[in-house]
Amino acid sequence: MMQQRGIEGLAMPIVVAIISGGTAMLAFKKEIVEWIVNRGHACPKFGNVK
């Protein structure tokens, strides 16, 4: 008989996704910031960087 996967079976993939996403953000933080700035988003505290 097959066991049903409950919420416990979903926890590990979620943890892995969070950790890998955080690692990717740290690795590509400069590119992410440049992409956001080049899209024309203004910083509420300092105004537009352009």
- pLDDT tens digits along 12-48: 889 999 999 999 999 999 998 888 878 876 677 776 5
pLDDT, position 48: 56
CA angle 3, 7, 9 (to 5 degrees): 55
pLDDT, position 47: 65
Asked whether the predicted pLDDT for residue 9 surpasses 60, the reply is yes
Q: What is the pTM of this model?
A: 0.48
Distance CA 1, CA 4 (A): 10
The crossing angle, in degrees rounded to 10, of helices 8-27 and 29-38 is 80
Asked whether the predicted pLDDT for residue 2 surpasses 60, the reply is no
Asked whether the predicted pLDDT for residue 1 surpasses 50, the reply is no
